[in-house]
Structure 1
């Protein structure tokens, strides 16, 4: 039976996504779980909830 995939939502702006990416993939591989990558636009999300303009560096 195929294992249920992991939906991996992340933003390129997130340092946490960058730092944890390798460990996450290792855990998924050890659990024999496929990963579905779902990057999202953090700026669009923050603006949609009224957070305001966030500077891009």
Structure 2
């Protein structure tokens, strides 16, 4: 979970893992449609990917 000091860094983590694992396959990426608490509109709410 990316909350507290890591808030709004989920997209950065997705990019890091995709670059780190050659076989990472992207899945869903769901973003906030509007600002919610400390998350700005467009920030990643949740996502997934698979590593084979």
TM value normalised by structure 2:
0.28
Q: Choose 1 or 2 for highest CA Rg.
A: 1
Q: Which has the higher contact order (CA 8 A, sep 6+)?
A: 1
Which has the larger share of strand?
2
